[in-house]
Amino acid sequence: MKMRHLLTSVVIVMASAIAAVVHAQAPATKTAAATLPALTAVQALPLTCAQAWIASGKSYAQMRAIVIELAKVSLVNRDLTLPNRREAGLDAGKGIAADCKADPHAGLFAIVDKHVRRIAAPARN
């Protein structure tokens, strides 16, 4: 349970960095979308960075939730864990944000997976 909490907090830091950059790309409008639930992993998997931003209602919190879901999928699929360092999460988040900014039409999951693999370590069972 402690490891899951740790993973979630690191992924949140990563997602915060990407959402900040994506948020800066397009002006956000206040809508009811901020109260809608985040997409499921199945719904988010095929989306590009730009499509995920639109699907999030251009909401920082919703975009962060999408990135967290995708990072969890990557971690489970690859049997990885994230290091217990804030810097690792920030590094991954900045990388995700930079890749999405460079190519908004790239698959968001591919980008998240790339950066999760870059900073994660094999899971200890």
Coil/strand/helix, residue 44: helix
Query: Model pTM?
Result: 0.70
Q: Are 65 and 108 in contact (CB under 8 A)?
A: no
> What is the average pLDDT value for the chain, to the nearest integer?
79
pLDDT per position as a tens digit, 87-103: 988 888 899 999 999 99
Pair 88, 69: CB distance under 8 Å: no
* Cα distance between residue 15 and residue 20, in whole Å: 8
What is the number of domains present in the chain?
A: 1
Range of the domain at 82: 2-122
